[in-house]
Structure 1
Amino acid sequence: MAEKLLEVESLHVEFPGRGFRAKPHEVLHGVSLTIDDGEVLGLVGESGSGKTTIGRAILGLVKASGGEIRFQGENITHVGPRRRRELARDIQVVFQDPYSSLNPALTVGDILSEPLVIQGSTTRDARARVKALLDQVGLPADAAERLPREFSGGQRQRVAIARALAPQPKLIVCDEPVSALDLSTQALVLKLLIDIQRETGVAFLFISHDLAVVRHISHRVAVIYQGEIVETGPAEIVTSRPEHSYSRRLLLAAPVADPIEQRRRREERKRLAENGSMETGAGVR
């Protein structure tokens, strides 16, 4: 039986209210989930559901107001800056927009080698690791001498993936990593992530608003709606025979080539909304 790599238990997150004396707004309402060693957990929900907040809480980018986050059994909910920097070796992230997440003033080689040198690698070892990383994500060796702006969006995301892989982490939080890419590039980057996961055994928390995308990469899927996990299960079941009405709505939102089937799905989504299964007008972005 696989060991629990990450355990999120009854997680609450509040954001300050807008305006004078405004009450805090609770974004997460007691969220619980787990990720095993080497597992890909897909976390899917519409914009504003709280899925990105979960990832940011795990990374220590937002403060939890309640609950616990445990990594390899250690409570990391409120660790200090020094321990958080140490955890960065084991918990990495790939953000949605690769351009804004990469330092535009550094070459790709410097971007990839910087964390390695900080961790004590020699310059020679760092260069060798950079070359291996570029090969692993399908970029040529001379990419190390170029700046991020010289690459396409898909290539920049490959650089971001290589940077996340550099310290050989145990978990990578993938926050909408393909949503900013066109469909053909999405498919290539998804295949790359699947291949990397199988080769290295790194675990992923794969965050997306697209149930169809999550289906291809995840072992299990958790569906989040208005700050609460409403369904969790094997990816094959949740993405084809979901139980919760919101999960069904996400499934029906996926486009299909058959116009008759597309019309049937649209009518079924409308019926779910009219029956009050969820808020009228809710949908995926």
Structure 2
Amino acid sequence: MSVERQDPEWAEHQGAPPLLEVNDLNVTYRGRGFRGRSFHALKDVSIQVRRGETIGLVGESGSGKTTLGRAVLGLVPVTSGSVVFEGEEISHVGGRRRRQLSRDIQVVFQDPYSSLNPAMTIESILAEPLTVRGYSGTDARARVAELLDHVHLPADAAQRYPREFSGGQRQRVAIARALALAPKLIVCDEPVSALDLSTQARILDLFIDIQEQTGVAYLFISHDLSVVRYIAHRVAVMLSGEIIETGDGDVVTTNPTEPYTQRLLLASPVPDPVGQAKRRDLYMSLGQPQK
């Protein structure tokens, strides 16, 4: 998968102040027990997301990318630095303000199987954030029907349960739930990694279509450089809690300058045995053992 994202909605806001601005962010997890060592998960991380833009955050497991997403969502304590959303510093806001921010900042998690309550119908799942915000039953049902149409699910899906859907369909429900309150930013934490390749492509296309229609911005977290290449306008590469390379999505994912990013690129499989063999040889030449 390869495409260069140049959406008019994103380009229109390039000169505007960033929607999200992370400045010199540090997150340290305290060790367990008396002798437990602390773990410095994020080290002076800075990143910006503009309105209508997709920032791809890529790195291997343990690189800190999910911790950064959780810090933006207020799910981990920030040691130092700041998270600024629409000009407001939000890294230390209280629970009430954080709940208010959920209208504008939403999340799509990795696993569509565990992120939906199996005891609730799809209508109940999608209506829950709406009723909390004061929607009447009639207005909530109308919005649920609109959301299902938005993610290309049939209207009768509202009365069914999550177990009745495939993985890709469940992830569509999760996306619909994130869209319910018309957010300005969605943190996408490995949202397609649990899906097969053909379903991945359809979900990525759905994310792109939704962005073009609504202008929502994405902080898109993935370990897969090919996925990030497909969806991101700009890319930031993380290693050991630091951002080591940033730039235009097409440039970073096709001609990276950092050896680590080059290894990520070469590790991605290609649908050609001869090409894959050449890529494996080059991968080995960079000093990274091939699994």
Q: 1:87 aligns with which of 76, 80, 101?
A: 101
For structure 1, the 5+ residue unaligned runs are 274-279
2:31 alignment counterpart: 17
Report the more deviating stretch, 255-264 or 103-112: 255-264
For structure 2, the 5+ residue unaligned runs are 1-14
Q: Distance in 2 between matches of 1:60 and 1:174?
A: 15
Tell whether the 8 Å contact from 2:58 to 2:223 is kept in structure 1 after alignment.
yes
**How far does the alpha carbon of each residue in 1:3-43 deviate from its partner, in whole angstroms, 9 at most, with x for none?**
30000111111112244322211111111100001100000
Q: 2:227 aligns with which of 213, 222, 230?
A: 213
Q: 2:110 aligns with which of 96, 101, 104?
A: 96
Quick one: structure 1 residues 106 and 47, their matched pair in 2 at CA, closer, same or farther if it must change by over 3 Å?
A: same
1:152 alignment counterpart: 166
TM-score (norm. length: structure 1): 0.95
1:133 alignment counterpart: 147
Letter in 2 for 1:68: S
1:53-132 to 2 correspondence within 5 Å? 53-132=67-146
Identity of aligned residues (%): 64
For residue 162 of structure 1, report the CA deviation from its aligned partner: 0.1
Number of equivalent positions: 277
Letter in 2 for 1:198: E
Q: 2:200 aligns with which of 186, 202, 215?
A: 186
1:33 alignment counterpart: 47
Letter in 2 for 1:132: E
1:238 alignment counterpart: 252
Secondary structure of the residue that 1:99 maps to in structure 2? coil
Secondary structure of the residue that 1:4 maps to in structure 2? coil
For residue 268 of structure 1, report the CA deviation from its aligned partner: 1.8
For residue 105 of structure 1, report the CA deviation from its aligned partner: 1.3
Letter in 1 for 2:275: E
Q: Distance in 1 between matches of 2:33 and 2:92?
A: 27
After the TM superposition, list the runs of 4 or more consecutive aligned residues in structure 1 that deviate by more than 3 angstroms.
Answer: 280-283
Letter in 2 for 1:137: V
Q: Distance in 2 between matches of 1:183 and 1:215?
A: 15
Across the aligned residues of Structure 1 and Structure 2, the Cα RMSD in angstroms comes to 1.3
Report the more deviating stretch, 10-19 or 207-216: 10-19
Report the more deviating stretch, 54-63 or 250-259: 250-259
Is 2:80 the partner of 1:48? Answer: no
1:175 alignment counterpart: 189
For residue 281 of structure 1, report the CA deviation from its aligned partner: 4.9
Tell whether the 8 Å contact from 2:17 to 2:50 is kept in structure 1 after alignment.
yes
